[in-house]
Amino acid sequence: MTFPFRDDAFAGQVVAVTGAAMGFGRCIARSFSALGAKVYATDINAAGLAETAEGHAMVTLPIDLTDRAAAAAWIATVETEAGQAIDVLVNNAGGMMGQKGRPIEEVPDEDWDAIFALNVDAAFVTIRAAAPKMKAARKGCIVNISSGAAFRPSRTRIQAYCSSKHAVLGLTRQMAMELGPFGITVNTVAPGLVMTDGDKQGTWDGMSESRKEHVLGGIALGKLGAPQDIADATLFFASPLARFVSGQMLPVNGGSF
């Protein structure tokens, strides 16, 4: 933990994190937990989720977030168990669902839908479910994890991924306007390329030196980020330091344009 907050910075706060079995979600959940928050974490990967919680005080419940009823029920469970509104909701679960870039005429409906179901619809459902109690509490914070693909074309060439991350930015801005009058902030962290699991590390390791040089040459700081870089930006949005920040996107990408 490198973030310069006191160890009890989030003490007593109820924090709900999606996609917490690995990658950013694991790091975000553990970071809030280390700073005293009561963390509720979910993911479709039960074993990974249990590993995330090892040695950390957090409550886990595995669900498939593309099941709208299950996603809404998870929010209700968190509120009931915590006995209060969620203070911080982090919509992190997302990704490319194992898809590869290909020409638009080769993209089947189900592949397009699968990416939207996880990247956009799950965030819509959790926000819709958490909003009433947050509004009644007249406080709260929502952080959606988008991507560099939220504001420019994606290197992956996956049309649905890029479109879905643009949608996450739109959802963030619209919800900031709607929930702002209730004292709730809504922001998005837009990560650059970060090695978060074996697959991504393998992709990087498999690149030629000239390809790696090209990728790093497009990053001002000349290196890839780490999950903690994304977690730290999430902590910032959830902290009092960001009390007057809403509807904003923070690219965390080492300076990549």
Active-site positions read 161
Q: Which is nearer to ligand NAD, 48 or 140 (CB)?
A: 48
Which lies closer to ligand NAD via its Cβ, residue 67 or residue 84? 67
Closest residue by Cα to residue 145 from 190, 192, 89, 200: 190
Length of the chain: 257
Q: Closer to ligand NAD by CB, 19 or 140: give it.
A: 19
In the complex, least distance from residue 212 CB atom to ligand NAD, rounded to whole angstroms: 15
Judged by beta carbon, residue 51 or residue 183, the one nearer ligand NAD is 51
Min dist CB 155 to ligand NAD, Å, is 10
What's the min distance (Å) between Cβ of 182 and ligand NAD? 26
Residue placing its CB nearer to ligand NAD in the complex, 38 or 165: 165
Q: Which is nearer to ligand NAD, 105 or 170 (CB)?
A: 170
In the complex, the smallest distance separating the C-beta of residue 93 from ligand NAD, rounded to whole angstroms, is 4
Q: How far is CA 136 from the centre of its chain?
A: 24
By Cβ distance, which residue is nearest to ligand NAD? 23
CA angle 207, 213, 216 (to 5 degrees): 105
What phi-psi label fits residue 138: left (phi over 0), alpha (psi between -120 and 50 degrees) or beta?
left
For ligand NAD, the binding residues (CB under 6 A) are: 19, 21-25, 43-45, 48, 64-66, 92-95, 118, 145, 147, 191, 193-194, 196-197, 200
Three-state DSSP state, 10 = coil
| Residues 6+ positions from 179 with CB-CB distance below 8 Å | 131, 134, 135, 140, 142, 185, 186
Q: In angstroms, what is the minimal distance from the CB of 124 to ligand NAD?
A: 14
CA 231 to chain centre: 9
How far apart are the C-alpha atoms of 136 and 204, rounded to whole Å?
A: 46
> Considering the complex, what minimum distance in angstroms separates the CB of residue 145 from ligand NAD?
4
| Tokens 């982090």 -> residue | 90
How far apart CA 21 and CA 53 sit, in angstroms, is: 9
Beta bridge mates, 142: 89, 186
Task: Extract the tokens encoding 11.
Answer: 């003490």
List all residues 6 or more positions away from 116 whose beta carbon is below 8 Å from its beta carbon: 160, 163, 164, 167
CA angle 132/246/27 to nearest 5° reads 85
